[in-house]
């Protein structure tokens, strides 16, 4: 078993001097993935050091580190290598009693059941690519089958299923917003990511999404899930979001914070420190000015 921790988590463990305040610790069960996603540094056909996930370096740690960390949530990212289920179940037994989120490419409801039986709080079943044709091309697999699995899991474990979506994979804004409404109806939370080109992957030359577009999508997701707005709130030009008809109110800037499980922050997951974040991991009043400009 190869267990890794994100750089921010290494700070929480005392393995590096620089410490970022985080309520969630991020660990990864690592190995050579059997899948071949075009955006991922762990893809089967990619010759990239396994220590990367997105642009973050994950260093090896001991399973003893799992016992010694004191946070509000532990997030386990699981690479789909041969034998990952055995290793994941071993780690979940070590973590018994802690609040755990697992992000894993589960294939069946039975597999999902097995993780909940070991005490996890929630599970992330990533879609990543919301356009069905591009899903098949970039990520691989059966889009409809995954949608059915997510729906079945959400019915069985209400409020405990999350999915991940990457903005900038060639999808339209209308497809993203339709997807948000579908997940809202299922009772599934959506965590947003910005596409990040990784050297050595099939999509290494693809350009990340424009930040202004990403802000609109963040705000749309927030309004759908937190304010329960109707579709006529969104004005489209073709299939791209042109305007959001919503009057500003205090704290709307929270739309630009990291989305996902409770206490999730994922610092610098999509950009280098010093760059303007796609997902802000700390709230500040400047976010309110940003949302005001977007709604003008």
pLDDT tens digit sequence for 225-246? 999 999 999 999 999 999 999 9
**For the chain, what is the mean pLDDT?**
94
Task: Mark out the alpha helices in the chain (DSSP H runs).
Answer: 7-13, 64-68, 84-94, 109-117, 132-134, 143-156, 173-186, 211-222, 286-295
Question: What is the reported pLDDT for 56?
Answer: 65
Given pLDDT bands bounded at 50, 70 and 90, which one contains residue 50? low
Rounded Cα–Cα distance for residues 40 and 269 (Å): 13
Question: What is the reported pLDDT for 275?
Answer: 86
Given pLDDT bands bounded at 50, 70 and 90, which one contains residue 52? low
User: 240 is in which domain, residue-wise?
Assistant: 2-295
Rounded Cα–Cα distance for residues 254 and 225 (Å): 12
Paired tokens of 3: 């267990």
pLDDT above 80: residue 40: yes
pLDDT above 70: residue 89: yes
pLDDT in tens, 108-161: 999 999 999 999 999 999 999 999 999 999 999 999 999 999 999 999 999 999
Instruction: Give the DSSP H/E element, type plus range, for residue 58.
Output: strand 56-60
| Higher-scoring residue by pLDDT: 189, 53 | 189
Rounded Cα–Cα distance for residues 234 and 240 (Å): 10
- For residue 54, the domain's CATH number is 3.20.20.70
Rounded Cα–Cα distance for residues 96 and 264 (Å): 20
Question: What is the reported pLDDT for 48?
Answer: 66
How many domains are contained in the chain? 1
Rounded Cα–Cα distance for residues 30 and 22 (Å): 22
Question: What is the reported pLDDT for 149?
Answer: 99
What DSSP character marks residue 208?
Answer: P
Paired tokens of 199: 């050297």
pLDDT above 60: residue 268: yes
Rounded Cα–Cα distance for residues 16 and 13 (Å): 8
pLDDT in tens, 17-38: 877 889 999 999 999 999 999 9
| pLDDT mean over 83-91 | 97
| pLDDT mean over 82-95 | 97
How many C-alpha atoms does 244 have within 13 Å on its Cβ side?
26
Question: What is the reported pLDDT for 273?
Answer: 72
Q: What percent of the chain clears pLDDT 70, i.e. is strictly above it?
A: 97
Least confident of 29-38, 46-55, 139-148, 247-256: 46-55
Given pLDDT bands bounded at 50, 70 and 90, which one contains residue 53? low
Question: What is the reported pLDDT for 269?
Answer: 73
Question: What is the reported pLDDT for 270?
Answer: 77
């Amino acid at each position: 078993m190869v267990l890794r921790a994100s750089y921010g988590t290494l700070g929480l463990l005392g393995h590096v001097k620089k410490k970022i305040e985080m309520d969630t610790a991020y660990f990864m069960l690592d190995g050579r993935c059997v899948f071949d996603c075009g955006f991922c540094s762990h893809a089967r056909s990619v010759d990239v050091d396994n220590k990367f996930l997105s642009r973050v370096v994950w260093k090896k740690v001991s399973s003893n580190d799992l016992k010694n960390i004191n946070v509000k949530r532990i997030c386990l990212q699981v690479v789909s290598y041969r034998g990952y289920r055995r290793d994941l179940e071993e780690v979940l037994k070590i973590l018994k009693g802690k609040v755990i989120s697992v992000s894993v490419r589960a294939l069946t409801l039975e597999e999902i059941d097995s993780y909940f039986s070991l005490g996890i709080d929630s599970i992330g079943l990533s879609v990543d690519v919301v356009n069905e044709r591009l899903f098949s091309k970039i990520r691989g697999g059966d889009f409809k089958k995954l949608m059915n699995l997510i729906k079945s899991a959400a019915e069985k474990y209400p409020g405990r299923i999350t999915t991940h979506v990457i903005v900038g994979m060639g999808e339209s804004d209308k497809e993203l917003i339709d997807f948000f409404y579908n997940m809202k109806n299922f009772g599934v939370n959506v965590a947003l990511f910005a596409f990040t080109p990784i050297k050595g992957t099939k999509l290494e030359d693809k350009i990340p999404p424009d930040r202004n577009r990403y802000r609109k999508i963040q705000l749309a997701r927030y309004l759908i899930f937190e304010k329960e707005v109707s579709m006529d709130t969104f004005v489209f030009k073709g299939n791209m979001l042109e305007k959001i008809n919503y009057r500003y109110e205090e704290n709307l800037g929270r739309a630009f914070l990291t989305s996902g499980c409770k206490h999730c922050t994922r610092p610098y997951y999509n950009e280098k420190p010093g760059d303007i974040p796609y997902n802000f991991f700390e709230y500040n009043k400047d976010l309110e000015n940003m949302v005001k400009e977007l709604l003008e």
